[in-house]
Amino acid sequence: MRFEAVCGSLIDQECDTLIVNLFQDVKQPGGATGAVDKALGGLIAKTIEEEDFRGRLGDTLVLRTCGKIPASKVVVVGLGKKEDLDSLSVMRAAGAAARECMKLRARTVASVLHGAGSGGFSPAESAKCVTLGTILGTYEFNRLKTEDTKPNPIEVLRIVEISSEKLSDIRSGISRGEVIGHAICFARDLANEPSNVVTPSYLAEMAQQIARENDLECTVLDRRGIEEAGMGLLTAVARGAAREPYFIELRYVPPNSNGSTNIKKIALVGKGITFDSGGYSLKSHSAMSGMKDDMSGAAAVLAAMRALAKLKPPVVLVGIVPATENAIGSQAIHPGDVFKSLSGKTVEVTNTDAEGRLILADAVAWAVKQGVDEIIDCATLTGACVTALGDEISGVFANRQTLADKLIAAGESCGEKLWQLPLHTGYRKRLKSEVADLKNTAGHAGGAIIGALFIESFVGETPWAHIDLSAASADKENELTRKGATGVPTGTLIEYVMGLQTPNW
């Protein structure tokens, strides 16, 4: 699908489908929608009344133009209540409209800038959200299907603006939306693939390919290398798996940095459990069936590094993925076993199904040893976070409030909702073990906090944030997501890194 920005009038656009919008409970359209309504002889207003179209967010109405304007059909999409309009609303409206165009088998589509004008959005922000919403709304994972698959028919989506002075900003917004949208879809593809395809070695090969294509440094440690590096927790989790584990590091250095030590260095760490059986703390069948996506954090980090390498931000980025299966085998660890971490701390494993925090502990300790200025880890870590926030909002913990605030704002700008949860230090004592420095679980109460506190134990004084990906997968469709992987928090990571030096990039 190609995106364009053109100067002109909506009613003059030659296309299969024209997209306009309507705020909730508006009976008489105004603005661009009103102009199209007038050209159609009041057809939009008449149909709104006859069919009681309320304009609720994501609702669509299809009208045939009967030759009154060059477009063959008009799709009216609801924006919801005007006072509730935000970036996610614009994205959802764009996604819903694009899906309707897919059903209509439209090849050429022209669209108004949702949210601009009376919505108060800048042309660039509106264009970004329309582009991103369209890409995410039309995403499908059907690579493995042999029947009943239809490719996206939309070849061109043309954003139409009457003022030529705004075209530059609109094109900038389109470019931003494309970068984020394609990165999220890349992460979705990785997490949607079955675990017999996306193995630890597959992630390692993908990282190496990303490095080759984008001139990044790539380091991959195999099982022996992991052991020799002293990553005792990652080594322990990987013991039960027949498939080899890998520790992956991608490194981006800004062009012309000339080895400067004054450049900020950020580590992005993603949990790479390519399948989680729970180990000897075995999951139930229903809990295990979706565990191919337990590497969603890794997918997001790889996707973000791939995109950021092209955007070339003025910071050093270290993308880290500890990749393994959590399986049962003759060498698998038992509850009660004790292992030494990369940091030197010893850990009693009280639950082998709390393996994500174990491999992340070694990964963040590795980042600390690299001398990074900031660590952001993302992981499908706890069911407790899903219980607390549901599957549309991810939890964020941080040892610096400014870092949490910036991540939440970055998520808001690309439709990925984050909610800060307390890093309650009073719970740290619950992680004390009688036989080791720490234990990896401490009961069900406050499970998401306990998981975050465990990882925090290995970051020292380094500014750090942990994103618990309760929104990594969707059980039902909405305007932007099919059932399956959501790609969260790929967009947040990109927006955060780019926003550090270049707001509204």
Give the active site residues. 283, 357
As separate numbers, helices (DSSP H) first and strands (DSSP E) second, the chain gives 15, 20
What burial class does residue 49 get, using C-beta atoms within 10 Å of its C-beta: 0-12 exposed, 13-18 middle, 19+ buried? Answer: exposed
CB 328 within 8 A of CB 240: yes
Phi-psi label, residue 277: left if phi above 0, alpha if psi -120 to 50, beta otherwise: alpha
Distance between CA atoms of 3 and 133, rounded to whole angstroms? 12
Q: Answer yes or no: are the C-beta atoms of 128 and 116 closer than 8 Å.
A: no
In single-letter form, the type of residue at position 16 comes to D
Phi/psi for 220 (5° steps) reads -125, 120
Q: Which structure tokens are listed for 357? A: 């925090």
The CA distances from residue 48 to 17, 18, 62, 153, 293, in Å, are 18, 17, 11, 28, 42
Q: How far is residue 312's CA from residue 232's CA, in Å, rounded to a whole number?
A: 34
Greatest alpha-carbon pair distance for the chain in Å reads 80
The H or E element containing residue 348 is strand 346-348
CA 199/CA 326 separation, integer angstroms: 12
